[in-house]
Structure 1
């Protein structure tokens, strides 16, 4: 497998750590392999994972205010009702 390089790994690190599906499996594997073999990128990945996990934990109990939630639902219904 080819090495994707530090620039590529760092550019896509946040999305990779969040597990976004925007990457094909090959790109994910290349970034994973690079991170496993590059101490600098390994450190950055650890920091990114730690921050991502901390933000997720901090926000997991948050709920949108009722009025905002209702406005979002109404907007989604309006968009879905529009003819395509």
Structure 2
């Protein structure tokens, strides 16, 4: 386990966020972020964005909005 460097950490950050790296690569990135404020900050931003996207995907549009959109689409198709 060692410091993989900023280039590697930033290149693999997305896979790291989604637990898609082997344990050794993940450990190297984790070790690097312990000593690199810039990469650690990027990781925190990535975590926040990932969580926000997950929450947004769980939300559904209100029925009233769905009805309005469908009505407009039908209206546009008739013209």
TM-score by length of 2: 0.69
Cα distance in 1 for residues equivalent to 2:19 and 2:24 = 14
Residue in structure 2 matched with residue 17 of structure 1 by the alignment: 17
Equivalent of 2:52 in 51, 54, 68: 54
Residue in structure 2 matched with residue 41 of structure 1 by the alignment: 39
Q: How far is the alpha carbon of 1:61 from its aligned partner?
A: 4.0
> Deviating runs (4+, > 4 A) in structure 1?
none
- Matched residue pairs, number? 60
Q: How far is the alpha carbon of 1:60 from its aligned partner?
A: 2.4
Secondary structure class of the residue paired with 1:19: coil
Q: Structure 1: any 5+ residue segments left out of the alignment?
A: 63-84
Query: Rg: which structure is higher?
Result: 2
Q: Structure 2: any 5+ residue segments left out of the alignment?
A: 61-79
> Does residue 5 in structure 1 map to residue 12 in structure 2?
no
In angstroms, what is the RMSD of aligned CA positions? 1.2
